[in-house]
């Protein structure tokens, strides 16, 4: 017993300095408690990150390189740009979930003539994005402090249309459940222009995977998805009137390849390989990896308790 305790004590003494070193690498330059969450801004070398609580190391909502803010850091933000291979010139863009505003800044760089509406429920997040992440706003880039679903409902009543809608809202644990239901997605669909594209940032490892997949298919029919073996993010791409071809088949494949070639140079400037994006797209038409009888999420059935079982 004495030898075992000594071994454990030795291990603790060895590990503890390492833990101290790791925790001191990141400098907290701002912290506050908003109406919705704890907000932290951390600097770690050249990288600045926005975090939504202090209990987990996997709560980074947005990061950027201070020396090169134009370059995207997260794989999932790079994968969101896959929509440009399908619709390379969206004129009106809606982003639900601001984070540090890096996606909005990147899209303005790539599409300077497009109009971008950013929706963020937490006014404190907007303030932090402006102060610490060089979030840009001008006559083409507007920000609305509002619940995403409320904004969508009002925009539908106003008969607004968007060529590209990005769903990237997280509350620190997962996507807010009222932004995952069939009713909400039907409202989002009404906002899409005829050739409009919806991209949603979700997770491939979540226990909600089959529920989310079944819900998107119920609203949009077969969709495309992009995954990366290096992380657990999944990007869903849905089209207003559905994709008639499985990706890589039919007449559309040549258009997608041409778009990738045209965008290649511009995307490289923000750290994105257009060819890799093209290669990672899969269609649910020829690869559906969830059970056919998976329940659809609705306003009456949205099992938030499953979030406790989600992986990362």
Which whole-number Å values give the CA distances from 117 to 91, 92, 222, 300, in the listed order? 11, 8, 27, 29
CA 237, 50, 99, 182 torsion: positive or negative? positive
Measured distance CA(284)–CA(290) in Å, rounded: 10
What are 235's strand-pairing partners? 201, 226
Max CA distance (Å), the chain: 74
Contact present, 184 and 152 (Cβ < 8 Å): yes
DSSP single-letter state for residue 273: -
Exposed, middle or buried: residue 113 (CB in 10 Å: 0-12, 13-18, 19+)?
exposed
Beta pairing, strands 38-44 & 47-51: antiparallel
Burial classification of residue 179, based on how many CB atoms lie within 10 Å of its CB (0-12 exposed, 13-18 middle, 19 or more buried): buried
Given the residues 117, 122, 163, 168, the one annotated as active site: 168
Q: Is 273 one of the catalytic residues? A: no
The sign of the dihedral angle between the CA atoms of 82, 87, 92, 94 is: negative
H-assigned helices in 96-174: 102-110, 123-132, 148-157
Count Cβ atoms within 10 A of the Cβ of residue 137 and give its class: 0-12 exposed, 13-18 middle, 19 or more buried: middle
Annotated catalytic sites, by residue? 168
């Amino acid at each position: 017993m004495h030898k075992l305790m000594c071994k454990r004590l030795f291990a603790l003494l060895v590990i503890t300095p390492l833990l101290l070193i790791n925790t001191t690498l990141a400098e907290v330059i701002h912290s506050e408690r908003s109406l919705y969450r704890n907000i932290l801004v951390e600097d770690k070398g050249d990288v600045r990150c926005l975090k939504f609580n202090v209990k987990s190391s996997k709560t980074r909502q947005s990061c950027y390189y201070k020396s090169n803010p134009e370059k995207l850091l997260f794989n999932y933000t790079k994968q969101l740009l896959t929509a440009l291979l399908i619709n390379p010139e969206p004129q009106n863009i809606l982003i639900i979930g601001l984070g540090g505003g890096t996606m909005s800044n990147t899209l303005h760089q790539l599409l300077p003539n497009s109009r971008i509406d950013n929706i963020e429920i937490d006014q404190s997040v907007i303030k932090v994005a402006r102060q610490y992440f060089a979030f840009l706003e001008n006559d083409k880039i507007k920000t609305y402090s509002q619940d995403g679903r409320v904004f969508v409902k009002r925009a539908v009543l106003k008969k607004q249309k968007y060529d590209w809608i990005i769903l990237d809202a997280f509350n620190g644990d997962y996507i807010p459940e009222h932004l995952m239901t069939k009713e909400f997605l039907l409202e989002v669909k009404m906002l899409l222009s005829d050739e409009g594209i919806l991209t949603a940032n979700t997770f491939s490892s979540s226990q909600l995977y089959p529920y989310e997949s079944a819900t998107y298919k119920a609203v949009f029919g077969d969709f495309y998805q992009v995954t990366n073996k290096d992380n657990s993010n999944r990007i869903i791409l849905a089209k207003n009137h559905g994709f008639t071809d499985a990706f890589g088949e039919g007449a559309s494949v040549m258009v997608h390849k041409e778009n990738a070639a045209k965008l290649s140079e511009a995307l490289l400037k923000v750290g994105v390989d257009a060819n890799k994006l093209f290669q990672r797209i899969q269609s649910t038409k020829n690869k559906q990896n969830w059970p056919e009888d998976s329940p659809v999420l609705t306003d009456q059935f949205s099992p938030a308790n499953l979030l406790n079982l989600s992986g990362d």
